[in-house]
């Protein structure tokens, strides 16, 4: 089951300032006769709305400074590097966000 595999991987995540911390999870089966299951995941609350602010700013036609772009890119690369340096390496399957959709 994909959810179980994801839960195992989340437990392996190292602590890093650019990775959201995973605390716990449960899977609740709605029925023994069904393949349906509900997953509850408890993760770190990340305060702020930076992504929404960046999306709004882009839609308003405001340009990002070179420093802002490099800072965002550095933070994402640091997090991915931590995952790839883990033993065994952890590959993120879907590095994108709602912000990416703003460019479409």
Residue 14 lies in domain:
1-47
Mind listing the pLDDT tens digit of every residue in the chain (104 residues)? 456 666 677 777 778 888 888 888 887 776 666 667 777 888 888 877 777 787 888 889 888 889 988 998 899 899 889 988 888 887 776 666 555 555 54
pLDDT computed for residue 13 by the predictor: 79
Same domain for 54 and 37? Answer: no
Kindly state the DSSP code that residue 87 receives in the 8-state scheme: S
Same domain for 32 and 69? Answer: no
Q: Which of 21, 24, 7, 9 lies closest to 86, judged by CA?
A: 9
pLDDT computed for residue 70 by the predictor: 92
Length of the chain: 104
Annotated active-site positions, please?
A: 94
Q: Which domain-ending residue is among 16, 32, 47?
A: 47
Same domain for 19 and 58? Answer: no
């Amino acid at each position: 089951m994909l959810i179980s595999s994801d839960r195992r991987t989340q437990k392996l995540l190292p602590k890093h300032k650019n990775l959201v911390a995973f605390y716990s999870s449960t899977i609740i089966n709605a029925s023994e006769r069904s393949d349906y299951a509900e997953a509850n995941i408890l993760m770190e609350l990340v305060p702020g709305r930076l992504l929404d602010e960046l999306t709004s700013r882009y839609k308003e036609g405001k340009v990002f400074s070179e420093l802002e772009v490099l800072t965002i890119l550095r933070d994402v690369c640091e997090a991915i590097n931590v995952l790839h340096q883990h033993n065994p390496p952890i590959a993120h399957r879907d590095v994108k966000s709602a912000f990416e959709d703003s460019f479409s």
